[in-house]
Amino acid sequence: MSGTASAGRIFPGGLGYLRPPAEIELGAYGLDLRGLRVADIGAGEGRLALGAARDAASVLAVDPDRGALARGRAEARRQGLSNVKFSEGAAQSLRLPDASFDVVIFSWTL
Protein backbone atom coordinates (compact mmCIF):
# COMPACT_ATOMS: atom_id res chain seq x y z
CA MET A 1 0.00 0.00 0.00
CA SER A 2 1.19 3.44 -0.76
CA GLY A 3 0.84 6.21 1.77
CA THR A 4 1.05 8.64 -1.13
CA ALA A 5 -1.82 7.17 -3.14
CA SER A 6 -4.40 9.63 -4.33
CA ALA A 7 -7.59 9.06 -2.40
CA GLY A 8 -9.42 12.08 -3.72
CA ARG A 9 -11.03 14.15 -1.02
CA ILE A 10 -10.87 12.57 2.43
CA PHE A 11 -13.91 13.05 4.59
CA PRO A 12 -13.33 12.51 8.30
CA GLY A 13 -15.03 9.59 9.97
CA GLY A 14 -17.04 9.88 13.11
CA LEU A 15 -20.53 9.03 11.89
CA GLY A 16 -20.43 5.59 13.50
CA TYR A 17 -23.10 6.66 15.96
CA LEU A 18 -25.56 6.57 13.02
CA ARG A 19 -24.95 2.86 12.52
CA PRO A 20 -25.83 -0.22 14.55
CA PRO A 21 -23.22 -1.84 16.79
CA ALA A 22 -20.58 -3.75 14.82
CA GLU A 23 -21.84 -7.12 16.11
CA ILE A 24 -25.32 -6.47 14.70
CA GLU A 25 -24.08 -5.21 11.34
CA LEU A 26 -21.57 -8.04 10.94
CA GLY A 27 -24.19 -10.57 12.04
CA ALA A 28 -26.56 -9.27 9.35
CA TYR A 29 -24.01 -10.36 6.73
CA GLY A 30 -24.52 -13.94 7.92
CA LEU A 31 -20.80 -14.71 8.09
CA ASP A 32 -18.96 -16.77 10.64
CA LEU A 33 -15.66 -14.90 10.96
CA ARG A 34 -14.06 -17.33 13.42
CA GLY A 35 -10.50 -18.04 12.33
CA LEU A 36 -10.77 -16.06 9.08
CA ARG A 37 -8.46 -13.42 7.61
CA VAL A 38 -10.52 -10.23 7.22
CA ALA A 39 -9.81 -6.93 5.47
CA ASP A 40 -11.91 -3.84 6.15
CA ILE A 41 -11.34 -1.41 3.29
CA GLY A 42 -12.40 2.14 4.06
CA ALA A 43 -12.33 1.21 7.74
CA GLY A 44 -12.28 4.72 9.15
CA GLU A 45 -11.88 4.39 12.90
CA GLY A 46 -12.25 0.62 12.60
CA ARG A 47 -15.73 0.06 13.98
CA LEU A 48 -16.30 -3.06 11.87
CA ALA A 49 -12.64 -4.11 11.93
CA LEU A 50 -12.67 -4.09 15.72
CA GLY A 51 -15.94 -6.00 15.77
CA ALA A 52 -14.53 -8.60 13.38
CA ALA A 53 -11.31 -8.89 15.38
CA ARG A 54 -13.23 -10.43 18.27
CA ASP A 55 -13.65 -13.62 16.19
CA ALA A 56 -11.30 -13.41 13.20
CA ALA A 57 -7.77 -14.76 13.13
CA SER A 58 -6.51 -11.44 11.77
CA VAL A 59 -7.94 -8.16 10.51
CA LEU A 60 -6.40 -5.50 8.30
CA ALA A 61 -8.15 -2.12 8.52
CA VAL A 62 -7.25 0.21 5.64
CA ASP A 63 -8.20 3.87 5.32
CA PRO A 64 -6.56 7.02 3.91
CA ASP A 65 -7.43 9.06 7.05
CA ARG A 66 -4.44 8.97 9.44
CA GLY A 67 -6.42 10.51 12.27
CA ALA A 68 -9.16 7.89 12.04
CA LEU A 69 -6.56 5.11 11.97
CA ALA A 70 -4.88 6.53 15.08
CA ARG A 71 -8.22 6.51 16.91
CA GLY A 72 -8.78 2.92 15.77
CA ARG A 73 -5.36 1.83 17.02
CA ALA A 74 -6.06 3.44 20.39
CA GLU A 75 -9.42 1.68 20.63
CA ALA A 76 -7.84 -1.67 19.70
CA ARG A 77 -5.32 -1.19 22.53
CA ARG A 78 -8.11 -0.22 24.93
CA GLN A 79 -10.02 -3.40 24.02
CA GLY A 80 -6.90 -5.56 24.19
CA LEU A 81 -7.17 -6.64 20.53
CA SER A 82 -3.79 -7.56 19.08
CA ASN A 83 -4.97 -9.27 15.88
CA VAL A 84 -6.00 -6.08 14.06
CA LYS A 85 -3.58 -3.94 12.06
CA PHE A 86 -4.40 -0.41 10.89
CA SER A 87 -2.76 0.68 7.64
CA GLU A 88 -2.94 3.91 5.66
CA GLY A 89 -3.99 3.43 2.06
CA ALA A 90 -6.66 3.93 -0.55
CA ALA A 91 -8.86 1.17 -1.92
CA GLN A 92 -8.00 2.00 -5.51
CA SER A 93 -4.26 1.52 -5.00
CA LEU A 94 -3.90 -1.45 -2.66
CA ARG A 95 -1.06 -3.81 -3.45
CA LEU A 96 -2.06 -7.04 -1.76
CA PRO A 97 -1.37 -10.56 -3.04
CA ASP A 98 -4.30 -12.57 -4.35
CA ALA A 99 -6.01 -14.74 -1.73
CA SER A 100 -4.64 -12.61 1.16
CA PHE A 101 -8.05 -12.58 2.85
CA ASP A 102 -11.05 -14.84 3.33
CA VAL A 103 -13.49 -11.93 3.72
CA VAL A 104 -13.27 -8.32 2.56
CA ILE A 105 -15.61 -5.70 4.00
CA PHE A 106 -16.56 -2.56 2.07
CA SER A 107 -19.13 -0.76 4.17
CA TRP A 108 -19.96 2.93 3.73
CA THR A 109 -16.94 3.16 1.46
CA LEU A 110 -17.22 5.72 -1.31
* Average pLDDT per consecutive 10 residues, the chain (110 residues; last block may be shorter): 48 59 84 95 94 97 95 97 96 89 85
> Domain coordinates of the chain in residue numbers?
19-91+100-106
* Domain 19-91+100-106 class in CATH: alpha beta
Per-residue pLDDT, 100: 95
- Which value, to the nearest 10 degrees, does the dihedral of the CA atoms of residues 32, 88, 17, 47 take? 20
Model pTM? Answer: 0.81
- The beta-strand segments (E) located in the chain are 37-41, 58-63, 84-88, 103-106
